[in-house]
Amino acid sequence: MAAPRVTMEVGNDGVAIITLINPPVNALAIPIVAGLKDKFEEATSRDDVKAIVLTGNGGRFSGGFDINVFQKVHGAGDVSLMPDVSVELVVNLIEDCKKPIVAAVEGLALGGGLELAMGCHARIAAPKTQLGLPELTLGVIPGFGGTQRLPRLVGLSKAIEMMLLSKSITSEEGWKLGLIDAVVTSEELLKVSRLWALDIAARRKPWIRSLHRTDKLGSLSEAREVLKLARLQAKKTAPNMPQHQACLDVIEEGIVHGGYSGVLKEAKVFKELVMLDTSRGLVHVFFAQRATSKVPNVTDIGLKPRGVRKVAVIGGGLMGSGIATAHILNNIYVVLKEVNSEYLLKGIKTIEANVRGLVTRGKLTQDKANNALKMLKGVLDYSEFKDVDMVIEAVIESVPLKQKIFSELEKACPPHCILATNTSTIDLNIVGEKTSSQDRIIGAHFFSPAHVMPLLEIVRTERTSAQVILDLMTVGKIIKKVPVVVGNCTGFAVNRAFFPYSQSARLLVSLGVDVFRIDSAIRSFGLPIGPFQLLDLAGYGVAAATSKEFDKAFPDRSFQSPLVDLLLKSGRNGKANGKGLYTYEKGSKPKPDPSVLPIIEECRRLSNIMPGGKPISVTEKEIVEMILFPVVNESCRVLEEGIVVRASDLDVASVLGMSFPSYRGGIVFWADAVGANYVYTSLKKWSQLYGNFFKPSRFLEERATKGIPLSAPVSSSSTSRARL
Ligand SMILES: C[C@H](O)CC(=O)SCCNC(=O)CCNC(=O)[C@H](O)C(C)(C)COP(=O)(O)OP(=O)(O)OC[C@H]1O[C@@H](n2cnc3c(N)ncnc32)[C@H](O)[C@@H]1OP(=O)(O)O
């Protein structure tokens, strides 16, 4: 790939076109920043240049500052690696330039890209250009003046919404708001921008420096009221993320003391934030998520994905209907098969409700909803299966039933058809045992609700063909999931790594720790709900069934708690029947139910593991560690066995599948930040006190004692090649 560069061409009309070239998104890498400074200096000093247009090569203006530099800053612990762009380039060379500068934007202008454009004196955009300041998702705030210029261009409330929610808008919306001066076709973009720049030079159009504007900010008291509300909101929605409050503080500085003062404070706060663990975690997740697209021997062997136009889903239960919804929403024709018309109707109704729910929440237009529902057909037999490209089986977890379905599918579907199962625990080799199509059998493990949760765990066996894996990865992306390819074992990567999560929580209860204190400690750590509220949500039947699978697969380290059985015996089934560890009333948050306390006492009596018969005393931090370190321990086994391609895949899977806080970078990244040796010594201590459940794995012990990070690659000789 050619080196990143900035070019300049001066036309006969006296307009210099400065172009960013750094495919694929024209990220503002250090050489690009240096190139921009050079070209703007040159254009300013040249007598033959009357005006300047700034644009990006290849149909994309810019995806923002080069996020690789953040990683370098994190690695070196040296913030001085960040160049001064905000004052030196955007204020001094662009906004204060004595020649007019117009940004010609197309495709996307995000982060630092949009900030460069806002420093220009006008912005012309091609249709549907994506405009946004998503820096908060990386743990920082906009750092090239965005916190100051965006409120001045679109108004304070809209700017806060765009920055705090990292929500981008289209160029059409941007034009209505005043961020964009004109929307023109892609073909006309440069022509119109050149003329616009010349018009500014000739004073036929206004020469506007965004930082100097105040007309959209409202009065000081109005602005303070908007900021106060935003602070309260951010406290609720992002309690553990410092960048939200920091962003509002910096905006306020500019409103009170003027835009330039805001720019200076922004640069200072940006440098503080980029060094925090929040930014380290979020930047790690950004790259980790993109790395999941690279699967050795699948995406690097020249295969081309085959189109998947028609998909059959077997089973219209909660999972099946969610999976069908995800496909029809993205224009893929779905045949939903059920065993009788009653179940089929129920499945179709669930899909309709899923789609309607998105319309009610403003996430889908009525038109798109109608079109999506047209892509669905319910059937009771296999006659429609003759031309499907993929089948996803989503029936109950029964081996004989799944085996029967797969041997029927082999006959009913065309030979190219992908045969996928949504099983969350059963070995895929067993599912496909009665077929001779092992190369087409693959796991498509969705997380509930399947049309909302972003993770798609793609499970391959040693016989699944690379083409089939690639095709499912491609469909996964089309239906807006993040596909993570994993190996075949009980629970695959996510449920396998996280099975100790609910078990350790139940073990703590048997040791005398309060159920609701455990949930609260886990919430404060950053998961949206604690393990017991999750248990209520999933239903006790599911919990009992999955526990059995893990007891069977890992008897040496599985903790068998009597809690779920006792709850079931008392007529409780969690949220589903409104009777769980919490009470559920319409319109109010779940409340701890004090009437479960006798059941918990009975559970402790039956477990009989409290040392000396007395509850153990633990801090909140110990609660979190006693629940999550066993997850780290199992993750180590997942890594050692080669169930995932790389450690960061498990980070992404934990964030997207288990809602592990993204700002902690995922389960393995977090464990490395805490320190493998600390995790190891803690587990060792607890295993001596409370038994084998906590016993450190060989992999953890080795890495901890040798001082090797858990995320460091596993040598191929120690990985079971059969899995990946
Ligand atoms: C000081 C400033 O205020 C700070 C900043 O500007 S921070 C940066 C703010 N910008 C962002 O957060 C945008 C991040 N990028 C994205 O959201 C998406 O990549 C996108 C919408 C631009 C494009 O999405 P899509 O077309 O799906 O491509 P995607 O696979 O994500 O990215 C393509 C490649 O570009 C890279 N890339 C994208 N944006 C990048 C950036 N800002 N810096 C470095 N690399 C970037 C990706 O890592 C990926 O690399 P790979 O092919 O080696 O894996």
Condensed to tens digits (0 to 9), the pLDDT of residues 543-553 reads 888 888 889 89
- 3 state DSSP class of 166: coil
Task: State which of 1, 28, 33, 67 you would mutate to test the pocket of ligand 1, scoring each by most atoms of that ligand within 8 A of its C-beta.
Answer: 67
Q: Which residue has a Cα nearest atom 52 of ligand 1?
A: 290
| Closest approach atom of ligand 1 to CA 166 | 12
The predicted model gives 421-450 an average pLDDT of 92
Cα separation, 144 vs 10, whole angstroms: 27
Q: Which ligand 1 atom sits closest to the C-alpha of 65?
A: 6
pLDDT band at 1 (very low <50, low <70, confident <90, very high): low
Which one of 115, 252, 393, 549 is the catalytic residue?
A: 115
Q: Which residue has a Cα nearest atom 20 of ligand 1?
A: 63
The answer, yes or no, to whether residue 443 has pLDDT greater than 80, is: yes
pLDDT band at 109 (very low <50, low <70, confident <90, very high): very high
Q: What is the DSSP string of 281-335?
A: HHHHHHHHHHHTT--TTTTSS---PPP--EEEEE--SHHHHHHHHHHHTTT-EEE
Q: Is 719 a residue whose pLDDT tops 80? A: no
The predicted structure's pLDDT at residue 543 = 87
Q: Is the ipTM, as predicted for this complex, more than 0.85?
A: yes
Specify whether the CB–CB gap between 140 and 274 falls below 8 A: yes
* CA 63 to centroid of ligand 1, rounded, Å: 5
Which pLDDT value is given to residue 716?
Answer: 57
Q: Which atom number of ligand 1 is nearest to the Cα of residue 293?
A: 54
Residue 229 has pLDDT above 50, yes or no: yes
Which ligand 1 atom is the nearest neighbour of the CA of 137? 12
- Using pLDDT thresholds of 50, 70 and 90, give the confidence band for residue 654: very high
Q: What is the pLDDT of residue 721?
A: 42
724: confidence class by pLDDT, cuts 50, 70, 90: low
More confident of the two residues 685 and 539:
685
pLDDT at residue 279 tops 80: yes
Q: What are the structure tokens assigned to 158, written together?
A: 């809209």
Q: In this structure, how many other beta carbons lie within 10 angstroms of the beta carbon of residue 514?
A: 16
d(CA 628, CA 498) in angstroms, rounded, equals 9
If you measure from the C-alpha of residue 184 to the centroid of ligand 1, how many angstroms do you get, rounded to a whole number? 25
pLDDT tier at 715 (50, 70, 90 boundaries)?
confident
Percent of the chain whose pLDDT exceeds 70: 99
What is the structure's pLDDT at 549?
84
Q: pLDDT-based confidence at 720, cuts 50/70/90?
A: very low
Question: Would the pLDDT of 585 be above 90?
Answer: no
Whole-number pLDDT of residue 448: 87
Active site residue 115: yes
Q: Catalytic pick from 135, 549, 640, 701?
A: 135
Give residue-wise pLDDT tens across range 9-32: 999 999 999 999 999 999 999 999
Instruction: Give the confidence band of 425 by pLDDT, cuts at 50, 70, 90.
Output: confident
Q: What is the mean pLDDT of residues 66-87?
A: 95
- Averaged pLDDT score across all residues of the chain: 95
457 catalytic? Reply is no
Q: How far is the CA of 287 from the centre of ligand 1 (A)?
A: 9
Task: Compute, in angstroms, the gap from residue 56 CA to the centroid of ligand 1.
Answer: 15
Which residue out of 1, 20, 25, 69 has the highest number of ligand 1 atoms within 8 Å of its CB and is therefore the one to mutate? 25
For residue 610, which of 467, 508, 494 has the smallest C-alpha distance?
508
For ligand 1, atom 51, which residue shows the shortest CA distance?
290
Point out the ligand 1 atom lying closest to the alpha carbon of residue 113.
6
The answer to whether the CB of 320 falls within 8 A of the CB of 351 is no
Instruction: Please write the tens of the pLDDT for every residue from 173-211.
Output: 999 999 999 999 999 999 999 999 999 999 999 999 999
Give me the helix-helix angle, 620-640 and 667-674, nearest 10°: 120
Q: Picking from 75-89, 188-202, 709-723, which range would have the lowest pLDDT averaged per residue?
A: 709-723
**pLDDT value at position 722?**
40
Pocket of ligand 1 (CB under 6 A): 24-25, 27, 63-68, 108, 110-112, 115, 134-135, 138, 142-144, 146, 290
- Average pLDDT (631-659) is 97
Q: Is the pLDDT of residue 614 over 50?
A: yes
